[in-house]
A and B are shown apart, each in its own frame.
Chain A
Amino acid sequence: MTAEGKPVPDILPDTREYWEAASRGELLVQTCCSCGSKQYFPRLLCHRCLSEDLGWTKSSGMGTVYSYTVIHQAAHQTFAPDVPYVYAIIELDEGVRMISNVVNTDVSKVHIGMKVKVFFHRLSDTISIPRFEPVQQADTE
């Protein structure tokens, strides 16, 4: 996918650590220090027990395609050069689901249950976006 002109995440107080980690090549999952619940995306408080005492779990970056769609017509002009592209729900091995793209593969090969791993698409000095690509044989051996 190209980066040209695409929406870029704003770094907000609740999400600063997440994006700073992404820029270093790490995927963080926010984890409640009171009840242990994990949540995606990072928030002010725990979605389960409302505790504000929150920490982070470093994700292995491995996950599975839970569902996906191949988008043939971009809603936003900055994605038009990318069609057809895959927009997907990824279930991380840590248990949470997140929206992302599956790239670096033929879109027709993407399927539910496909094993994927994160990589970081660098947009600027401070922003890298987690996207996913198929796990190659070598990754699992």
Chain B
Amino acid sequence: MGIRGSCAVIGYGETQFAKLKDSAGRTNYSEQCLAAKAAIADAGIDKDEIDGLISIVPLDQKSSWTMDLSEYLQLNVKFMDNMYFGGASGNAAILYSAAAIQAGLCSTVLLVGGSVLDTSMVYEFGMEDSIPFEHDFDTIYGPMIDNSAYALIKQRYMYEFGARQEQFAKVVQNARYHAARFPNALLKKEVHVEDVLASRMICDPLHLFEIVMPCTGACALILTSAERARELANPPVYLLGGGQAIDRGMWHPAYGRSGSLTTSPVREAARQAYAMAGLGIKDMDFLQLYDCYTITVVISLEDVGCCENGKGAEFVEKTDLTYNGELPVNTDGGQLGRGQSYGGGHFVHAVEAVRQLMGRAGDLQVPDARFGLVNGNGGSMANECTLIFGNEVPKGGVL
């Protein structure tokens, strides 16, 4: 038996997403502990049932963070890991936890990420914490950290395929449509294509509204065996498939971006996830796609199979991506609408998938949602981890 259907998410929790100026009294500990507490309560289990822990190390914490957190929460765990490879870490943490549960290393894993962080801190870490070759072959040329890395991708994409700015702007319009209706979103004001185009050019061709706003917040999930999940009050949300892929030349710009800028490892990660689940893009009732920038969503849509390479921007333009549209995407507003919590953002898309599949998305509920895809992206489209969840385990498929 493989991972498919062997584990399920039984609960989730979030803290309030907030700007740094509104984060007085909050710390990396308060974020991760309170999200964890909420997830444990939501799952309806005793804290002592948790015997596994994976946490996303906040940018300004030491690599011992997960051990520190385990002790702070007084957990007795026999499976533990730090995750520190960007936005794909959350999904990978879920996938690795499922493998550990399935292998008998542990039974119930708490997955948590979140921190207190703002833009200036991101830049500070990016510029001053860089590793030697990054400093010597990239930082000296004045990058705007992630903004410039994704701007290079978007510029090349527009050149190769003739994609237009208003097509990218539709990604933001969709995100903010959902965020305006989602209780725990930072950016509550709806914006339209023309507003995005009128927003300040930060890192041409990326406008301000196409770039996530770093914020305070945390998300947590609890994963356990399918058998245990069926004993609990929440409807189990089964992990049906997962896959991970890493590009050799896309992480540090210092390497000069040796790979293609316009296709991504999402293609391979999604292929693995579909194969494991025995499902395809047509079976997906929604997609929760890592959305640090508009270009990330456009390329991810292509690479999860919505359309061929180069047609993603046009697909966005022509498709209703709202929760009750043709293909619901980022139904809580995603990070472009909710703000990007470092660490919380690693799990935010999985949490929304679970919320939808438990039927708890309220005004933003995707009708009759059964299966959904979640993509996590890290390292400027270098690391990708795709998961497929369902509120049932379909018969057949590849086991």
Q: Which residues of A contact B (CB under 8 A)?
A: 1, 6-10, 12, 15, 40-41, 43, 66-76, 79, 82, 84-85, 87-89, 96-101, 112, 129, 131
**Cα separation A19 to B281 with both chains bound (whole Å):** 50
Label chain B's interface by main secondary structure: helix
Q: Which of A7, A68, A85 contacts B140 (CB 8 A)?
A: A7
Residues of A within 8 A of B254 (CB): 41, 99
Which 10 pairs from chain A and chain B are nearest by CB? A97-B256, A69-B151, A70-B204, A9-B136, A79-B142, A67-B156, A75-B123, A41-B137, A67-B152, A75-B144
Q: Digit string of B126-150 for contact with A (CB within 8 Å is 1, else 0)?
A: 1100001101111111111101100
Known contacts A71-B144, A75-B144, A89-B256; A9/B151 CB under 8 A: no
**Cα separation A100 to B139 with both chains bound (whole Å):** 10
Q: Are A69 and B148 in contact (CB under 8 A)?
A: yes
Q: Are A66 and B142 in contact (CB under 8 A)?
A: no
Contact sample, A vs B, 29 pairs, CB 8 Å cutoff:
A6-B142, A9-B140, A15-B133, A41-B136, A41-B256, A43-B133, A67-B152, A68-B152, A68-B155, A69-B206, A70-B201, A71-B142, A71-B143, A71-B148, A72-B201, A72-B202, A74-B142, A74-B144, A75-B143, A75-B144, A75-B145, A76-B139, A79-B142, A87-B144, A89-B253, A97-B257, A99-B143, A99-B253, A112-B156
Closest CB in chain B relative to A10 CB, distance in Å: 6
Count A-B contacts at CB 8 Å.
121
Q: Are A69 and B204 in contact (CB under 8 A)?
A: yes
Q: Does B203 sit within 8 A of A, measured CB to CB?
A: yes
**Cα separation A88 to B151 with both chains bound (whole Å):** 10
Q: Which of A66, A74, A75 contacts B257 (CB 8 A)?
A: A66
Residues of B within 8 A of A41 (CB): 133, 136-137, 254-256
**Cα separation A131 to B120 with both chains bound (whole Å):** 27
**Cα separation A69 to B58 with both chains bound (whole Å):** 29
Q: Which residues of B contact A (CB under 8 A)?
A: 123, 126-127, 132-133, 135-145, 147-148, 151-153, 155-156, 159, 200-206, 253-258, 261
**Cα separation A129 to B137 with both chains bound (whole Å):** 10
Closest CB in chain A relative to B163 CB, distance in Å: 13
Closest CB in chain B relative to A9 CB, distance in Å: 4
**Cα separation A72 to B199 with both chains bound (whole Å):** 13
Q: Are B261 and A99 in contact (CB under 8 A)?
A: no
**Cα separation A20 to B365 with both chains bound (whole Å):** 62
Q: Are B256 and A67 in contact (CB under 8 A)?
A: no
Complex: chain A residue closest to B146, CB-CB: A75
Known contacts A7-B135, A71-B203; A85/B256 CB under 8 A: no
Q: Are B136 and A96 in contact (CB under 8 A)?
A: no
Q: Are A99 and B204 in contact (CB under 8 A)?
A: no
Known contacts A69-B203, A75-B126, A112-B159; A40/B142 CB under 8 A: no
**Cα separation A74 to B141 with both chains bound (whole Å):** 11
Complex: chain A residue closest to B201, CB-CB: A72
